[in-house]
Structure 1
Amino acid sequence: MRNCAVLGSPIAHSLSPVIHQAAYRYLELEWTYTAYEVDEPDLAGFVAGLDHSWRGLSLTMPLKRVALDVADDASGLARTVGAANTLIRADDGRLFADNTDVPGFMGALGERGIGTPDAKPGTVCVWGGGATAASVLAALATLDAGTTHLHARSAQRAKEALELAEALGRPAGYVPWEVADVCATSELTVNTAPAGALDPFAEALTTNVNGERALFDVLYEPWPTPLAARWAQAGGIVLGGLDLLVHQALGQVRLMTGHDVPVDVLRDAAQRALSLRTRT
């Protein structure tokens, strides 16, 4: 029996236990996967208390940056991005940090035919300046996306993400927390901000939406967001937080168990769980 879990704050809404348990059933593993409310000051103490039965931890906000502080080693990607969403515990107790958000974001786009060599994102509009935004910028650099601008409530909040983009050779421009002219023509809009943050801009951001413009809103509950609903109604392409969740979880399952699972195993489990929440 091996134990795994997702940590974060708040954590009660997380679908990670549902999708990881679905993976274990598919793989016929008698593993457990639970959720724990853990904030930044408590992470070091939590990981210090793990015994030999523990194998992996998924990390959500606000732990993605401080995860590197408690890890003994980290992947090049996690170090470059400055954020990790996964901790793997070796048999000797050492912790290895990795980032599956970047390949997860790319995988979700690729599933919809976006980000392929024949369909590289052109102008990109990213909202939010935290760890998830940094992972998005790293993915966009790998995908050789076009001009990118980053909206944040202050230049200071966007500083780490913008420095990362610069270091990757794909600098992004800073834009204040308002709808700019370039937003009306961006081929890909990515929202990494908390629930409700873009609700006041939903109408303005969907004025010129068409079937070739895509929105990736990384929230999955509540869903659809006002922005995603208006975008879909206008005929645009919409990806949601569920797409990112299941694709980044593919990498976590592989790191924790050493096995691959079909993405639909995870997606179907998550969709069933969300459906049950909607009914109650």
Structure 2
Amino acid sequence: MRCAVLGDPIAHSLSPVLHRAGYVAVGLDWSYDAVQVRSGDLAGFVDGLGGPEGGWRGLSVTAPLKREALARADVVSARAELVGSANTLLLTGQQVHADNTDLPGAVAAVRERYDGTIRHATILGGGATAAATGLAMVDLGASTVLVAVRRPERAREAAERIAAHPSGPRVDVVGLDDASDDTDAIVSTIPVSAQTERLAAACAGVPLMFDVVYDPWPTPLSAVGSVVVSGLDLLVHQAALQFTAFTGLAAPLAEMRAAGEAALRERVS
């Protein structure tokens, strides 16, 4: 069977490394590739694969295609509907099933490293990943969420998605300069280029810093926070959930993580 990760750009993705390592660990003779698919082209690409009859089983989806993936699906999971985007497409027969493993992957990544209470959370950025990780913070106990962005009008959908969580959290949108360590957890979904010295100083001292970036690493924001959760932590846990969805087998988490860590070390050597 064939699987792949789709996005634009995509050459940097570690997903092939993780999934291939998983296949080797469980003895599956499957393939997993990185395929560049531009914005607006996802539906046509998926329709051309032929599903399982064409040898295709699953697709991981990254920026800028996560909302397109949701729109293409025939069946949508409750959490993908809640997030408003999909990072996982499962091809079964004539149907395409959409899911979002970023949300539960973020929960698992945090709980692997941090057992503290999260009542107040701050999300830096306002895109699809901000919505997923913001909802994850609410799953972890946050009753108030602050979405901090450079252009508040662009965070409206993410804020509305987080506020739609069944627990009914309070969600406010502010400028990025208003972010501070006066919170239980900060999740950064912004690129390294936006992680200024001023922002890092404002966030210093936060109990939990969760930076979804994994390359380059470390980042300016990874230097602050009593406990740090990395983008690789998130990538591994969401990929493990995808692996199980695609194969029906328990994911070999340790082997997948080790492969990702080795690949990142090789990139900086």
Q: TM-score, normalised by structure 2?
A: 0.94
Q: What letter is aligned with 1:24? A: Y
Instruction: Report the alpha carbon displacement of residue 34 of structure 1 after superposing the two structures with TM.
Output: 0.2
Deviations 1:181-225 (A, max 9, x none): xx1322211101123112343442344x16xx1100000000001
The CA distance in 2 between the partners of 1:113 and 1:238, in whole Å, is 9
Match of 2:34 in 1: 35
The CA distance in 2 between the partners of 1:221 and 1:109, in whole Å, is 19
The CA distance in 1 between the partners of 2:142 and 2:121, in whole Å, is 8
Given candidates 229, 234, 240, the residue that maps to 1:250 is: 240
Equivalent runs, 1:48-67 vs 2, <5 Å: 48-51=47-50, 52=53, 53-67=55-69
Question: Is the aligned partner of 1:274 residue 2:268?
Answer: no
Question: Is the aligned partner of 1:24 residue 2:42?
Answer: no
The gaps in structure 2 that reach 5 residues or longer are none
Match of 2:81 in 1: 79
Worse overlay, 55-64 or 156-165 = 156-165
The CA distance in 2 between the partners of 1:179 and 1:263, in whole Å, is 37
Given candidates 194, 197, 219, the residue that maps to 1:225 is: 219
Q: What letter is aligned with 2:56? A: W
Contact between 2:6 and 2:62, CA under 8 Å: does it hold in 1?
yes
Equivalent runs, 1:89-108 vs 2, <5 Å: 89-90=91-92, 92-108=93-109
Match of 1:166 in 2: 163
Question: Is the aligned partner of 1:131 residue 2:128?
Answer: yes
The CA distance in 2 between the partners of 1:5 and 1:106, in whole Å, is 24
How many residue pairs are counted as aligned between the two chains?
A: 264
Contact between 1:100 and 1:251, CA under 8 Å: does it hold in 2?
yes
The gaps in structure 1 that reach 5 residues or longer are none
Match of 2:177 in 1: 178
Q: What letter is aligned with 2:79? A: L
Q: Helix, strand or coil for the counterpart of 2:178?
A: coil
Q: What letter is aligned with 1:268? A: A
Given candidates 189, 194, 199, the residue that maps to 2:191 is: 194
Q: Helix, strand or coil for the counterpart of 1:36?
A: strand
Contact between 2:9 and 2:36, CA under 8 Å: does it hold in 1?
yes
Instruction: Tell me: CA distance 1:3–1:217, structure 2 relative to 1, closer, same or farther (3 Å).
Output: same
Instruction: Tell me: CA distance 1:130–1:206, structure 2 relative to 1, closer, same or farther (3 Å).
Output: closer
Match of 1:7 in 2: 6
Q: TM-score, normalised by structure 1?
A: 0.90
Q: What letter is aligned with 2:84? A: G
Instruction: Report the alpha carbon displacement of residue 134 of structure 1 after superposing the two structures with TM.
Output: 0.5
Instruction: Tell me: CA distance 1:99–1:221, structure 2 relative to 1, closer, same or farther (3 Å).
Output: same
Q: Helix, strand or coil for the counterpart of 1:272?
A: helix
After TM superposition, which residue ranges in structure 1, 4 or more long, deviate above 4 angstroms?
Answer: none
Percent of pairs identical after alignment? 45
Q: What letter is aligned with 1:222? A: P
The CA distance in 2 between the partners of 1:263 and 1:214, in whole Å, is 23
Q: What letter is aligned with 2:114? A: G
The CA distance in 1 between the partners of 2:150 and 2:260, in whole Å, is 32
